[in-house]
Amino acid sequence: MLNKLTALVIALTLGATLCASEATAKTFYWISHGSPADPVWTYFLAGAQQWATDTGNQVNTSFHNGDVAAQQETVRIAIAAGAAGIVTSSPDPGSLVQVTEEANELGIPIVNMNTPDPTANFDAYVGGDLIDYGRQWAQYLVDKKLVKTGDFVWLPVEVMGATYGVLEEQGIASVFEPLGITWEVTDATLDQGEVITRMVDYMTANYDKVDAIIGLGDLVTGSIKRVFDQSGIAPGEIPVVGWGNSLDTTQEVLLGYVNAAQWQDPQATSYMALTLAAMAASGIPPGFDITTGALYEADQAQIYDDILSGK
């Protein structure tokens, strides 16, 4: 038995050694707090893969579904492996402070993307300003006279407590609170089927109460058409704003289900974040952040629909 076992180990090791010999010169780590089931992260990932193809560097990618401990562990794996650079989103405010310091100490560039965390000492941030996005969405509803004092706005989100929702709600609160507009955040989960079920249930129970909807994530905003169709709500009957990084949402904007949607340039975010990390690894420190994003309505939606369709 031991002989067979030894042979198995040797065979696996030989295979592993052959694989290892094909390694490329520079390895970067792209670490997401998101879920591979979240469509927008597919576009972020595509940007990272495109960068790897264009530059010839290796990019090791991983998703962590909001699990802070697992994400911290992966950042430390990248540090232990002597990564040329690390690009990571932030799962919770303050949760990457320590690991960022560890990367700083070893001179490994670490760039924050998608969800900012000013408490951690990242080399740069690439992405949107989530508080500002929230403020823009709320202000859009107010400016277009879609909500007024005393109204109620529903804020579905995929992961309650995740950084993006927390920061966006802060921005929304800064507009709604002074105007006496109330709101409620509800948990929709990251499972598409469950998202639709929960949102339909909520609309069924609160149809008379909801004056507008702000989708705090791509999955929930991209589910609006299916939720409205299933609940018998006509396009435009309830104003909707929110994220717009998926084909579902661009179509919803074109069809009138969603009034305005936020484009975050997901592929560009990953691409630019890796570029900054590579630049820092070459000794040119990025002394700036890169802000991405645009709020688009039906007249601009086709542009983003084409990008997401690969046209």
Partner 1 sequence: MPSFVKRLISKPEFGPFVLLLAMVFIFWELNPAFLSLRNISNTLAFTVELGLIALAMTLLMTSGEFDLSVGSLFGFSPVLMWTLYNTGIASIEISFAIALATALGIGLISGLFVTRLKIPSFLVTLGMLLVVRGTALYVTNGFPQRTWNAKDLPLAQLLVGDFTVAGLRLHMSLLWFIAAAVLLSILLTRTKTGNWIQASGGNANAARARGVDVNRTKIKLFMLSAAMAGFAGVISSIRTAAANPNSGTGYELEVIAMVVIGGTALTGGRGTIIGTVFGIFILRLMRNGIVLIGVPGLAYNIFIGTIILAMMALHSWLDRRHQEGG
Which residues lie near partner 1 (CB under 8 A)?
A: 1, 5, 8-9, 12-13, 16-17, 19-20, 27, 30, 32, 36, 45, 58, 60-63, 65-70, 72-74, 76-82, 91-95, 97-98, 119, 157, 159-162, 165-166, 185, 187
Residue nearer to partner 1 on the CB measure, 5 or 145: 5
DSSP reduced 3-state for 19:
helix
Matching residue, tokens 């310091």:
101
Shortest CB 273 distance to partner 1, Å: 15
- The residue ranges of DSSP E strands in 149-285, in sequence order, are 152-157, 182-187, 212-215, 240-243, 260-263
Measured between alpha carbons, how far is 299 from 222 in angstroms, rounded to an integer? 18
Shortest CB 77 distance to partner 1, Å: 5
Residue nearer to partner 1 on the CB measure, 188 or 212: 188
* Cβ-based burial of 22 (10 A; exposed 0-12, middle 13-18, buried ≥19): exposed
Q: Which uninterrupted H or E stretch holds 45? A: helix 39-55
Residue nearer to partner 1 on the CB measure, 91 or 128: 91
Q: How far is CA 241 from each of CA 109, 127, 128, 284, rounded to the nearest angstrom? A: 36, 19, 16, 39
Residue nearer to partner 1 on the CB measure, 67 or 143: 67
Shortest CB 208 distance to partner 1, Å: 23
Residue nearer to partner 1 on the CB measure, 163 or 259: 163
Q: Which uninterrupted H or E stretch holds 171? A: helix 163-179
